[in-house]
Structure 1
Amino acid sequence: MEQYLEFNKSIRDDLLNSVRNLSDEQLNKEVEEGRWTIMQVLHHLHIIESGVAKAIQYTLKKGEKQTVNTKPIELTVNRSTKIKAPSFANPDARFITLEEMKEKLKESRHVLIQVVSNSNKHQLKEKAYPQPIFGLMSLDQWVPFIGYHEKRHIEQIEELKEKL
């Protein structure tokens, strides 16, 4: 599990590096009608990470043991398949500063690490929670999924930066 947390940290570092030289105005600028701003992408990542931490916590307490196949979560980074975010994961349209968003991302990462660190590793393998694309996924796969999901959106951020 430790290697997954390290993987996620490395991706998060890449994510923050990709936006570090942008102003709050650039981060919140709509570059294409109907597409998220860079800040909205960051907010979406915070929402997903917070939701995953809660889902893991809930499933560890209430979920049944079940065997599920390993899912090809590394395919998450393939952006040739467009995926509409579930409504709960849609970001706010309000202006958010980078400092405020960094704090939110730090907070959601802290919660995820706490949940995983305080979990029984066997239960993370034995319990599962549904993922909209991959179906029922073991809890231990949800942790690296966060990293792959962020990596997918780094590509989106790079596309948006080109249009600034």
Structure 2
Amino acid sequence: MIHPNTIKVREDIWNFANAIDENVMNEHSQPNKWTIAQVLEHLYLMETAITARLRMKVAEHNPAPSSMPSTPFHLTLDRNRHTPAPAALVPADKHCTLIELQTRLIRSRELFVELIESIDPVMLENRTMDHPIFGPLTLQEWTEFIGLHEQRHLEQMKEIEAELSQYH
């Protein structure tokens, strides 16, 4: 089952994104900082990567036990902690329309939900997959982590919008 916060945060993201002008969405508030569109693209890349890894983890017949200690993954919300995104999850610096971004994010969420709903609830609670920072998370915890990650980036998008509003 998808964590309820994960569903709510995505709705909050759409409410936020739908209220922003597309040009503003693609504008940098500072050099070397992502645009709002890039943050949305990052969310798509992240959800797609997590879904692919979860799919492989579920397919393992004899999953290897976790080799990492666990850390509270709710620290994701702490915006004072910053970890650069892996290269594969860094969005390109190009103009994107809201429709393009919505299409990608809607599809990535559909694939994520389809996968989670196909997994035995016992496996969701008992099988783990390592997070590079937080250590082993159950597959069910991953459904919450995605929402926390998106919530963190929603705050980032609000900060970008506030910075841009100073220039307009």
> TM above 0.5, one fold?
yes
Q: How far apart are the structure 1 equivalents of 2:23 and 2:83?
A: 27
What is aligned with 1:98?
Answer: 98
1:22-41 correspondence to structure 2 within 5 Å = 22-41=20-39
What is aligned with 2:52?
Answer: 54
Q: How far apart are the structure 2 equivalents of 1:7 and 1:131?
A: 19
Q: Tell me how far 1:127 sits from its aligned partner.
A: 2.1
8 Å contact kept, 1:65–1:127? no
Q: Tell me how far 1:137 sits from its aligned partner.
A: 2.1
1:1-150 correspondence to structure 2 within 5 Å = 1-2=1-2, 4=3, 6-62=4-60, 64=63, 66=65, 71-150=71-150
Q: Tell me how far 1:89 sits from its aligned partner.
A: 0.6
Q: Which moved more, 1:132-141 or 1:80-89?
A: 132-141
Deviations 1:9-33 (A, max 9, x none): 1000111112212111111111100
Name the TM-score, length of structure 1 as normaliser. Answer: 0.91
SS at match of 2:129: strand
Gaps of 5+ in 1: none
User: In the alignment, residue 73 of structure 2 is paired with which amino acid?
Assistant: I
Q: How far apart are the structure 2 equivalents of 1:132 and 1:65?
A: 16
What is aligned with 1:157?
Answer: 157
Deviations 1:68-89 (A, max 9, x none): 8764222211101111111111
8 Å contact kept, 1:49–1:112? yes
Q: How far apart are the structure 2 equivalents of 1:138 and 1:104?
A: 26
SS at match of 1:94: coil
Q: How far apart are the structure 2 equivalents of 1:116 and 1:69?
A: 24
8 Å contact kept, 1:76–1:152? yes
SS at match of 1:130: strand
Gaps of 5+ in 2: none
- RMSD of aligned Cα (Å): 1.7
Q: Tell me how far 1:125 sits from its aligned partner.
A: 2.5
Q: Would you say how many aligned residue pairs link Structure 1 and Structure 2?
A: 162
Taking only the aligned residue pairs, the percentage that are identical comes to 28
Distance 1:71 1:140, change over 3 A: farther
Q: How far apart are the structure 2 equivalents of 1:124 and 1:65?
A: 16
8 Å contact kept, 1:71–1:137? no
